[in-house]
A and B are shown apart, each in its own frame.
Chain A
């Protein structure tokens, strides 16, 4: 078996990793005593990320994985030569050498530092390959079409049930993951535009008067009607607008500072909120759950391989840089031990490519890949790609039920109970250090 750089590094810096681990444990003990809650950041790669071009086999150890990969993807396959610098630990079940996409070099660095768990073969065991069914299952933590609340929403309801806002969904709407019975999340696009509007002409400003009216209007009891839900949203808006729009989101050396939009901006806003709560504990937002999304992963056509300007490689490049910058921001701010970031996608894509020319892409598949990132994560390679030669109708088999990851996050990171995941109990994926 080859000695990868990662194993070498792990051996030589074992003491360092162990000390980080103790710090993380200490942080969790402190949290239990009420010194701030663990933070969970979810990043949804919308459209179904092509896991087979995110984590690729390099050889035929355990099964003819490399040969099969090349025949499934004659023009979409990535050459082993391009993957030398991003090799990770072998497939945990098969022993096949594996590597991250070359544009994930920053994520590889975090893997190398023991902060990244790569969970391959994760997904819904039964699925119709529909975006919407798969998304719903991931959001709800429950494949049942009858589920109405999200898994993070139910966790909040169980832990607090007090109606307070502890979750933000970036991108204007509230992701279903945060749907709750009592502790609703709020949707925010930009903190710096979260202020209530006033008349542009100085002479006619009257925000104070309207705010007083809004307090009454949104505070009026409308019962369980649709109006009541809307009024509650308005109340949150008025209550949180001053605080959120006052948060400083620039000028502190953030690695994501240059990002104008998308995931980079959202992650910078997460770091800004956590920094605010850290610096100003007397006036905290108390936000501890964040949901971000980034789209474009539904690569039915023109997917590309390694050209950083092509579809999928470009997505990989941006994701890698943005997550890396976020992690470094948190480390620089001294907040890294409190935060776990999880990247997921509703499914992976078909094993074989659907065309041979420049249009080549991949159709919907089943198993995919997830990443869990943080100093509190037991870095490494989890799950398995499974035998590519035995795939069913071209779809990768699920080796890790997505709820096994959720169970670990709920219990081992958030300190809750996985009873909120119907169909359990699930074996917890040992990703939390």
Chain B
């Protein structure tokens, strides 16, 4: 069984980078020789947590900054890393933007929702997101009434959150009529002044709706999600169940395939084979759509440890920043870190649109790459001259027995768990010579500068 395979040190680095935000100190060495099953079981939290960031006042930028700072800090916590990586996945999957809804209380609550429900049943997660005040605002669910249906949430629920517009064979999963019927089934949601969510009888469309008409998974009747007493509709008329019942043109469960592929692409690499998607989708279905089980199946899979998985995916700005902090032990000015992340293209709670952040090589456009160099410079220059400022002491990281430029470079490449190709490694060595281990100027320019170069290596942008 692949899950019985023992991790190499390199496997452990990879696992810790992807499942969380990178290894801390000697973790990979300690994890080496552990069975995948044991290591992964330990990493995945047993159940959701109710931890919630500061809510602040409604629409203040400074409250948003506090919420962002709280979250980034949590990502660096050893015990929370893996959970927070999954919360970030859900924030990307079900995006909501402060720029649109301007409500930190709702964003903080939504963030907590992902933390509480993001590991369990995907059905429950969809249900909770559907009745989440931030989402009801962001995609107009609370403005979707029987007199005036609004298609925004109904469309994205199918297109982005559960099915995709096309199945893996390229055939449409639904029609414009389905979007309209889905929107009508989702009418009636209101949020009162206390933030309580309910379906209101005056706003809900109680007439017959038909979704996926004429297919084997057609659902017909007075479809909805939850009644006026906040009790979920029974499965035969609950439109969330219609999404789970959907079968694609191969007769396969569309939602399971879609989510298996999407989660694989977040944790492993883009464009998995159909066989791999189906293998994971089968696990997801068999588990009763338990997200933690799908995550486990991904993280113990042979393909997860393949060269393709290690060398195909650009780090997100969040991965880049948090990994750098964990690896160097540097302290960053948290607001500057968030500003840098924004320049890198990823401001938390401000996804660019309902499709979330665009993964892939786009993270390394010239401007975004430049923002990574800026962050590296900022971090490496940290001399703690002001309160709460950045602090980085490079000489602490150099092993005592490293006395030559070559030894220092190799020790630092090992610290970052990096393999630099020959010319680049030589460029790092050349940058340091002549070395002057006791010279303040050399330490302050060349040694700090070395870290800027390390963080700028193309190899460090990928994980």
Chain A positions near chain B (C-beta within 8 angstroms): 46-47, 128-133, 145, 169, 172-174, 186-189, 194, 196-201, 203-206, 209-210, 212-214, 216-220, 222, 225-231, 233-234, 236-237, 240-241, 295, 300-301, 354-356, 359-361, 363-364, 393
Please tell me if the beta carbons of A199 and B381 are within 8 angstroms of each other in the complex.
yes
If A216-B427, A227-B462 touch, whether A355 touches B446 (CB-CB below 8 Å) is no
B 344-377 binary contact with A (CB < 8 Å = 1; else 0): 0100000001110010011011111111011011
The answer to whether the Cβ of B273 comes within 8 Å of any Cβ in the partner chain is no
Choose one: A174, A226, A355; the contact of B365 (CB below 8 Å): A174
The answer to whether the Cβ of B458 comes within 8 Å of any Cβ in the partner chain is yes
* With A200-B381, A229-B364 already in contact, 7 other A-B pairs whose C-beta atoms are closer than 8 Å: A173-B362, A197-B370, A197-B373, A197-B377, A197-B378, A222-B458, A355-B148
Partner-contacting stretch, out of B73-81, B212-220, B227-235, B448-456: B448-456
Report the nearest A residue to B385, measured CB to CB.
Answer: A201
A-B contact count (CB 8 A): 189
Q: How far is the CB of A7 from chain B (nearest CB, A)?
A: 40
Please tell me if the beta carbons of A226 and B314 are within 8 angstroms of each other in the complex.
yes
* Nearest 5 A/B pairs, CB to CB: A187-B365, A355-B148, A216-B427, A197-B377, A230-B458
Please tell me if the beta carbons of B150 and A301 are within 8 angstroms of each other in the complex.
yes
B 364-403 binary contact with A (CB < 8 Å = 1; else 0): 1111111101101110010100000000000000000000
Please tell me if the beta carbons of B155 and A240 are within 8 angstroms of each other in the complex.
no
CA distance in complex: A364, B151 (Å): 8
Report the nearest B residue to A392, measured CB to CB.
Answer: B176
The answer to whether the Cβ of B431 comes within 8 Å of any Cβ in the partner chain is yes
Please tell me if the beta carbons of A217 and B365 are within 8 angstroms of each other in the complex.
no
If A300-B150, A354-B150 touch, whether A210 touches B369 (CB-CB below 8 Å) is no
If A200-B381, A206-B449, A222-B421 touch, whether A227 touches B365 (CB-CB below 8 Å) is no
Please tell me if the beta carbons of A172 and B345 are within 8 angstroms of each other in the complex.
yes
Residues of chain A within 8 A (CB-CB) of B358 are 173
Residues of chain A within 8 A (CB-CB) of B147 are 355-356
Which residues of B in the span 414-431 have a Cβ within 8 Å of any Cβ on A?
421-424, 426-428, 430-431
Residues of chain B within 8 A (CB-CB) of A174 are 362, 365
Residues of chain B within 8 A (CB-CB) of A216 are 423-424, 426-427, 430
Report the nearest A residue to B427, measured CB to CB.
Answer: A216
Chain B positions near chain A (C-beta within 8 angstroms): 139-140, 143, 145, 147-152, 155, 159, 165-166, 170, 172, 175-177, 179-180, 311-314, 343, 345, 353-355, 358, 361-362, 364-371, 373-374, 376-378, 381, 383, 421-424, 426-428, 430-431, 441, 444-446, 448-449, 452-453, 456-459, 461-462
Choose one: A188, A201, A354; the contact of B367 (CB below 8 Å): A188
Please tell me if the beta carbons of A187 and B361 are within 8 angstroms of each other in the complex.
no
Residues of chain B within 8 A (CB-CB) of A188 are 366-367
Report the nearest A residue to B375, measured CB to CB.
Answer: A197
If A172-B345, A188-B367, A216-B427 touch, whether A363 touches B143 (CB-CB below 8 Å) is no
Please tell me if the beta carbons of A359 and B143 are within 8 angstroms of each other in the complex.
yes
CA distance in complex: A2, B241 (Å): 58
CA distance in complex: A390, B122 (Å): 42
Report the nearest B residue to A356, measured CB to CB.
Answer: B148
Q: How far is the CB of B172 from chain A (nearest CB, A)?
A: 6
Residue pairs across A and B with Cβ atoms less than 8 A apart, 21 shown, are A131-B353, A172-B365, A173-B368, A188-B366, A197-B374, A199-B381, A199-B448, A204-B444, A206-B445, A206-B449, A210-B431, A216-B423, A225-B311, A226-B312, A227-B458, A231-B458, A237-B370, A300-B139, A301-B140, A363-B151, A393-B180
Please tell me if the beta carbons of A217 and B453 are within 8 angstroms of each other in the complex.
yes
Q: How far is the CB of A412 from chain B (nearest CB, A)?
A: 31
Q: How far is the CB of B114 from chain A (nearest CB, A)?
A: 23
CA distance in complex: A170, B47 (Å): 43
Please tell me if the beta carbons of A213 and B430 are within 8 angstroms of each other in the complex.
yes
Q: How far is the CB of B223 from chain A (nearest CB, A)?
A: 19
If A186-B365, A209-B431, A227-B458 touch, whether A214 touches B140 (CB-CB below 8 Å) is no
